Amino acid sequence: MSANPNTPATDNPVDRKGGHLWHQLHSEREDISEALLKEFQPRLESQSGGQEMSTDEALRTADWQRLTEKWHRTLLQERLLKIDDALDRLMSGSYGNCSRCGRWIEDTKLAVDPAAAFCVYCWQRMETRH
Ligand SMILES: [Zn+2]
């Protein structure tokens, strides 16, 4: 008795990749949550003397720092939302389909970004609108 080497691959490619994707998305999600927690931690900045900054300059530096931190936080939060969305779609079975037109998102795009929510066409349309 020999097993048939040509086992027909009838299962959905998303189902086959589902477990792997789930872990990939989850580990990225954890990384981001961790990074966000670190960002939110109050920084203990000792303003030890030495180089004296003018109040104006110090304010501008603080503003800039706040701004970059806020920008970074926003990026992380957006990414987190995108991953949550992808995990939701993975659970509901609609993963891999464009959230806008319902078209299948190419495997190549999902390989680059497993959290991709839109097909190349919709993404391009959104990008060029700016
Ligand atoms: Zn689309």
Q: Where are the domains of the chain?
A: 16-39+61-128
Residue-averaged pLDDT of the chain: 82
User: What is the Cα–Cα distance from 39 to 43, expressed in whole angstroms?
Assistant: 9
What is the CB neighbour count within 10 angstroms for residue 79? 17
**pLDDT tens-digit series, residues 57-73:** 888 999 999 999 999 99
36 closest CA partner among 4, 76, 84:
76
**Ligand 1 geometric centre to CA of 105 (Å):** 7
**Ligand 1 geometric centre to CA of 52 (Å):** 55
**Ligand 1 geometric centre to CA of 100 (Å):** 5
**Ligand 1 geometric centre to CA of 106 (Å):** 10
Which CATH architecture best describes the domain 16-39+61-128?
Up-down Bundle (1.20)
Place of tokens 């691959």: 9
**pLDDT tens-digit series, residues 75-91:** 999 999 999 999 999 99
State the alpha helices, DSSP H only, in the chain: 13-40, 55-92, 107-112, 120-128
**Ligand 1 geometric centre to CA of 96 (Å):** 11
* pTM for this entry: 0.68
